[in-house]
Amino acid sequence: MSEITVQTSVENVIIIGAGPCGLSAALELQSIGIEPLLIEKHAIVHSIYQYPTYMQFFSTAEVLEIGDVPFTSVNEKPNRREALQYYRDVALRRELRIRSYEEAVKLSRDEDGLFRVETKDRFGAVREYAARFVVVSTGYFDHPNMLGIPGEQLPKVSHFFTEAHPYTGMKVTIIGGNNSAVDAAMELLRVGAEITIVYRGETYSPSIKPWVRPLFEGMVNKGRIRMIFGARVVQIAEQTVTVEPTHSGSESYTVDNDFVLALTGFRPERTMLTEAGAIVDPESTVPTFDPETMETNVSGLYIAGVIAAGREANEIFIESGRHHGKLIAAHINANNPHPTNR
């Protein structure tokens, strides 16, 4: 068992998560004289790295900017590669203190008011840090919504879509009917995949991007994409999937299949918050927090980014979550007006 190394100095602020909103919070804290320590279980902006290779943002570059650093793009709306470069360059240029590939596994608070953050790095080494304030800015891509059906653990099943090339000429079943499913289907068309989409809804999802929906519906109407409404996949086998209509009395049937993309969304993880005493609504999974300061019911414990949205992750995007850092920095500055660098 790895020995726990206790950080000898007390950090002023620790930020758990180095996504765009965590980075933004760090830059806002820098502006008031605090150099926070960021702890990230993967590489920085891992959530963007997980996006499909050729994804383009819905938003313009301007509303993705953090720390007043200009984001320039040759496109009207930047793509994934440009975003990765932008956030990477900002972190390096501002010399943010980031411990990448180190996972925060436990968060607690002492009687003296100091927070303790226990981490484990990729080599298994365990460390413990102390901080006066903690900002939790974790995402949700590590926790896909599992289907809970036989065959879900087969190698042919993925809860992520990266790019279409590996599925060239293959029979691909997509589970889900929202934007991620539609975008994947449109890319798969370009590599000659045979696409079947199985969706619980009785008609097209209202969340589909309005500029994509006509093109997508056109492909369905032409028979280029097989769209099965009002149904669910109940079993996955090596060469087939079993589809069961949601209408009572309808019989299940099999569909020939090579690969399954289970694009059914992700769920938030709130264990660290609750361990530290934060109140989380069991239904919505939204933590209790003050929207004016982003502070939870635990003094000195803040949230930033998509974690404030609970299950409805689409309610908070980078362009809105990036402003959480300003609120946090202002509140910490009011309660800690003469910060040290650490």
Reported as a single tens digit per residue, the pLDDT across 156-183 is 999 999 999 999 999 999 999 998 999 9
Residue of higher predicted confidence among 2 and 164 = 164
Could you give the percent of the chain with pLDDT greater than 90? 72
Q: Are 205 and 229 in contact (CB under 8 A)?
A: no
pLDDT at 59: 83
Residue given tokens 């040290």 in the structure block: 340
Q: 315 pLDDT band (50/70/90 cuts)?
A: very low
Rg (CA), the chain: 22
Nearest to 254 by CA among 233, 278, 273: 233
Give the phi and the psi of residue 107 in degrees, each rounded to 5. -130, 125
Most confident of the following: 4-13, 295-304, 330-339: 295-304
pTM score of the predicted model: 0.85
Q: Please report, to the nearest 10 degrees, the dihedral formed by the alpha carbons of residues 251, 254, 259, 262 taken in order.
A: 0
Distance separating alpha carbons of residues 280 and 186, to the nearest angstrom: 38
Comparing 71-85, 105-119, 132-146, 156-170, which segment has the lowest mean pLDDT? 132-146
pLDDT digits (tens, 9 = 90+) for 218-240: 999 999 999 999 999 999 999 99
What average pLDDT is seen over the chain? 90
Q: Which CATH number fits domain 5-142+266-335: 3.30.70.2610, 3.40.50.620, 3.40.50.300, 3.50.50.60?
A: 3.50.50.60
CATH architecture of structural domain 157-262: 3-Layer(bba) Sandwich (3.50)
Instruction: Provide the residue ranges of all domains of the chain, joining segments of one domain with +.
Output: 5-142+266-335, 157-262
Res. 336: pLDDT tops 90: no
pLDDT digits (tens, 9 = 90+) for 175-217: 999 989 999 999 999 999 999 999 999 999 998 888 899 999 9
Distance separating alpha carbons of residues 141 and 19, to the nearest angstrom: 11
pLDDT digits (tens, 9 = 90+) for 86-107: 999 999 999 999 999 999 999 9
Query: Which two structure tokens, joined as six digits, stand for 217?
Result: 């519906």
Res. 3: pLDDT tops 80: no
Backbone angle region of 228, left / alpha / beta, with phi > 0 → left and psi within -120 to 50 → alpha: beta
Comparing 5-14, 143-152, 237-246, which segment has the lowest mean pLDDT? 5-14
pLDDT at 7: 59
